[in-house]
Amino acid sequence: MEFDFIDPIGHDEERRPFRKHRLRRGVYVLPSVLTVANLLCGYYAILATLDGQVDNAARAIGFAIIFDSLDGRVARAMGTNSEFGKQFDSLADVISFGIAPAFLAYAWGVHAAATAPGVAGTGHLIQMGWLIGFFYLCCCAWRLARFNIQGMAPGSNRFFVGMPTPAAAGMIAAVVHFVQNPIENPSLSVLWLVLVAVLGILMLSTIRHYSFKDIQWTKRRPSLFVVAMAMLIGAIWFFSQYTLLVIAGAYTAHGLVLQFVRVVRHRTASRHA
């Protein structure tokens, strides 16, 4: 026979605030755990690059992007935004989307071409490689510091000011994942470094990029939207090399296209004014 214990003193009532405090503290931990996962992916990407496993490094940066997008959404959904979480996330992003991609870009796109036998002028290529990689890293840190101070685009939560650091890192990772074999042609290495430099400039710029933050995932959607998302996930799973490169390239280009459209509209409006 079982008996229900009734506390006459009211200890259960006293324990409830303590339990709520522990639950609240646990909720704060969840976004931080996702940020740590982001940081771990960046750290692993560096180690994988050192071991010559460039595709694994690119995949790790991709997973870091996923964790980075989740930690902010979880914190906002649970109302656990904090200044500590904001700064911790930025520090993790410097590793995962700054140091790791810059290191990967140099190892994959410059080192093999510069060390190939019979290639002249490799010293200048190496110097250019580490210099542009450092430029990219500085742009990433600058972009994160500016975002912490200024936030999103003025008057709109739909756009970032400048290219987001995960998108720039994703573009580097997508190209590496698509090609995989390191570049051995010095001319292609120069083109690759131009792309890395352009990504750094886009992070420094004030060109707006869509944030996807206005999409309400808990809201009802048409069946076609669900089918399209399922097809996109399937395409990433079975054809990751092509799909991720298209997605990364399209997001990189869309900011420039939107900026061009804004400039044309502004000039057209000023002429008719």
pLDDT per position as a tens digit, 228-239: 889 999 999 999
All structural domains of the chain with their residue ranges: 17-272
54-78 helix and 11-50 helix, angle to the nearest 10 degrees: 160
For residue 62, count CB atoms less than 10 angstroms from its CB and return exposed for 0-12, middle for 13-18, buried for 19 or more.
buried
Residue whose C-alpha is closest to residue 99's, from 46, 146, 57: 46
Instruction: Classify domain 17-272 by CATH number.
Output: 1.20.120.1760
**What is the C-alpha separation between 90 and 47, in angstroms, rounded?**
21
**What is the C-alpha separation between 141 and 204, in angstroms, rounded?**
10
Whole-model pTM: value is: 0.85
Alpha-carbon dihedral 97, 100, 103, 108, rounded to 10 degrees: -90
Whether the per-residue pLDDT at 183 is higher than 90: the answer is: yes
Residue whose C-alpha is closest to residue 170's, from 248, 239, 255, 242: 248
| DSSP, res 159 | E
Alpha-carbon dihedral 184, 188, 194, 198, rounded to 10 degrees: -90
Using CA of residue 22, residue 27, residue 30, residue 32, what is the dihedral sign? negative
* β-bridge partners, 159: 210
DSSP string, 119-156: -TTHHHHHHHHHHHHHHHHHHHHHHHHHHHHH-S-TT-
Whether the per-residue pLDDT at 171 is higher than 70: the answer is: yes
Whether the per-residue pLDDT at 101 is higher than 90: the answer is: yes
Instruction: Name the residue type at position 17.
Output: P
**Are the CB atoms for 199 and 137 separated by under 8 Å?**
no
CA atoms within 13 Å, Cβ hemisphere of 135: 17
Kindly report the length of the chain: 273
162 φ, ψ (degrees, to nearest 5): 85, 160
**What is the C-alpha separation between 214 and 254, in angstroms, rounded?**
17
User: What is the pLDDT, as a whole number, of residue 273?
Assistant: 64
Contacting residues for 207 by C-beta, under 8 A, at least 6 apart: 162, 163, 255, 256, 258, 259
| DSSP, res 160 | E
**Are the CB atoms for 248 and 174 separated by under 8 Å?**
yes
161 φ, ψ (degrees, to nearest 5): -95, 110
Whether the per-residue pLDDT at 105 is higher than 90: the answer is: yes
User: What is the pLDDT, as a whole number, of residue 23?
Assistant: 44
What is the per-residue pLDDT across 27-81, written as a single tens digit (0 to 9) for each? 468 888 999 999 999 999 999 999 999 999 999 999 999 999 998 888 777 777 7
User: What is the pLDDT, as a whole number, of residue 205?
Assistant: 93
